[in-house]
Amino acid sequence: MRDKSNPEIERVGVYVDGFNLYYGLRELGRRRFLWLDLRAMAMRVLRSHQRLESLSYFTATIRNDPPAIERQEEYLAALASVGVQVILGRYQEQQVRCRACGHIRRTYAEKQSDVALGVAMATDVAIGKVDAVMLVSGDSDLCAAVHAIRRIDLERETKTRVITAFPPRRRSESLRLVSDAWFPLGDAVIRQSQLPAVIQTPDGAVYRRPPYWN
C-alpha cells in the first residue's frame, strides 16, 4: 500500500545490522568512521521518490570491557537523539578450547540481533507500514527474513521491494540474489555521514565522539 496522500511516494524502512556494519567500518577506516550518522547515511542513498518511514539499528550490548561499553553507550544515545530506534540483543559467553594445547579461553557470541532484525522487517511489511525495506547488511543468514517477506506479499497480493545495502568490505551473493536491488555503501557516503563531534539536544543532553574513535 502506497502513501495515500501521495501514491508516487515509496515508504522505506531501513534496518541496520550493527554488528556487520561495525566490522565493515573498522576495515574501511579503522575507528575514525564509527561515529556514523545513520539517518544522514540513509537520506543520502534514498531516491527522490522515496521517504524514510523508519530507521532501526540492531546490535548487542558489549560485556566485560568498560571503555568499550562507555563508547557504545555514548554512540547509541547519540543515535537515539537523531531519531534512530535502537534495538538491543545480547552477547552470550562461550568457552573455546585450543586443540593444540588444551587452553580454554572465554569469548562472546552475539545473539538475538539478526532474529530481531528479521522479525522487524517482516512485521512492518505485514502491517503495511512500508512499501520497501532497505537492509544494511552482508549477512546471508538474513535471506530467511527476505523469504518471509516474499510469503507475506504472496498472501497479501502485494509487492514489497527489498533493497540490500552492503556495508564496506561486506557482500553476500545469496542476499544479492534474493534482493530486488542492491548497492555497496560507498566510502564517500560513509565519510560524509558522520555525526557532529558534539551533539547537544534540546533537553540539554550532550553526547561526544569518543576520542578513541578519532
Q: Do the domain assignments include residue 209?
A: no
Q: Do the domain assignments include residue 190?
A: yes
Which residue type does 72 have? Q
Q: What is the pLDDT of residues 113-125, one digit of tens each?
A: 899 999 999 999 9
Q: Do the domain assignments include residue 41?
A: yes
Q: Do the domain assignments include residue 206?
A: no
Q: Do the domain assignments include residue 5?
A: no
Q: Do the domain assignments include residue 72?
A: yes
Quote the domain boundaries for residue 17: 11-196
Q: Do the domain assignments include residue 214?
A: no
Q: Do the domain assignments include residue 202?
A: no
Per-residue model confidence (pLDDT) at position 8: 83
Whichever domain contains 44, its CATH number is 3.40.50.1010
Query: What value does the mean pLDDT take over residues 119-137?
Result: 97
Burial class of residue 209, CB neighbours in 10 A (0-12, 13-18, 19+): buried
Least confident of 25-39, 81-95, 165-179: 81-95
Distance CA 214, CA 91 (A): 26
Total domain count, the chain? 1
Q: What is the pLDDT of residues 158-196, one digit of tens each?
A: 999 999 999 999 999 999 999 999 999 999 999 999 999
| Confidence band for 108, pLDDT divided at 50, 70 and 90 | very low
pTM exceeding the 0.75 threshold for the entire prediction: yes
Higher-pLDDT residue of 29 and 202 is 202
